[in-house]
Structure 1
């Protein structure tokens, strides 16, 4: 019982530090917010803050992972009963933007810190890779309920995630109210992407797509 109480208190403290960091990032900006200031605002010792999160970047990575989980939960629920790749893709993209909305004030920093370049020296490489896999998994759910060319099915979730990251980049710089322009982009891009995927099965197009996939694999190796 005592161990459970300690675990519960530990989780509450971790959540408090995370919530405080988000609030301060939004109000003061990422660069002007220090770990010491977060600890002071949260009412915990600096050592306690560092116990849960080694740096501000690790805090942001955890926030990103939470946003991915929120996106996946919302998308999974909204996808139920939705057919057609265009509509299913639109659901996932909208869920992603909705989940990211609280971080728009420091969107550029949020994305760059949450998804740092993968390298042997990156201390968060494993965690960031897992976050990316979870995000790509959302688009696996998207195509599970849609008709897509079989030769493209294995690569499509990651390709759709890359398209989503393009939308996210647009969202970072979107200053329209409630990022209205980003949502307009999603509504127009989803059916266009679905049409391009449908065209990929055509005999004149398929070899070009296969060549592009081979190039993608070569670049990643």
Structure 2
């Protein structure tokens, strides 16, 4: 009895993947607003009812796409983060892996960024709807911090993964607008930003700067 269930699950995952891949292509070719669930279903060779069975709306479909990106990023850096190592090396692995995973979707990303950054949009990375993908992203950064052999101020360590995620959002936005060949400037940004962040993390342990660090963290927690 277990085999049919497994087979059915496999077919369902294949159908979901097909719908997401078709939607990404249509979003890229004709824009998010002009793409309909009916159009996605037709392009995928599925019934409209079948498409809605897996994704009640375009927003749900984009959330699945967000999640897929993060899952691919986890897989891309898992082996290199398996062993403990210096903070800067681990952060570089996480961010370079994410950029590599996102690279094939660069043309598509610019098409719906206006919708994603609109306040209150369910497609915003800060929305409740984006929580699963956001949690996956922060999971990678928690792994970066937890596996670090670099000494990190205990109080900063608590919020550091979320602070890194906010930096990652800035990195992603820059990548979306980066029109250099193969987004080479984004690679340069990662290359230069990681050592800078590593230094800032180290400075948080300097006795004379700890009070400044505490005040900054207090303000961050108030505004979160």
Normalising by the smaller structure, the TM-score range is 0.7 to 0.9
Q: Which residue of 1 is the match for residue 96 of structure 2?
A: 94
Cα-to-partner distance string for 1:99-140 (whole Å, 9 max, x where unaligned)? 21232113242682643553xxxxxx2x52122111111111
* Count of residue correspondences: 213
1:36-75 to 2 correspondences below 5 Å: 36-75=38-77
Out of 184, 195, 217, the residue aligned to residue 199 of structure 2 is 195
Change (3 A) 1:69 1:4: closer
Please give the TM-score of this superposition, normalised by the length of structure 2. Answer: 0.87
1:68-147 to 2 correspondences below 5 Å: 68-81=70-83, 83-108=85-110, 109=112, 112=116, 114-118=123-127, 125=128, 127-146=129-148, 147=150
1:199, 1:190 → 2: CA distance? Answer: 14
Gapped runs of 5+ residues in structure 1?
Answer: 119-124
Q: Which residue of 1 is the match for residue 208 of structure 2?
A: 204
Secondary structure of the corresponding residue to residue 130 of structure 2? helix
Out of 157, 163, 172, the residue aligned to residue 161 of structure 2 is 157
Instruction: Compute the displacement of 1:3 (Å).
Output: 3.9
For the aligned residue pairs, the C-alpha RMSD in angstroms reads 2.0
Secondary structure of the corresponding residue to residue 208 of structure 2? coil
Change (3 A) 1:189 1:82: farther
Q: Which residue of 2 is the match for residue 181 of structure 1?
A: 185
1:19-38 to 2 correspondences below 5 Å: 19-38=21-40
Please give the TM-score of this superposition, normalised by the length of structure 1. Answer: 0.88
Gapped runs of 5+ residues in structure 2?
Answer: 117-121
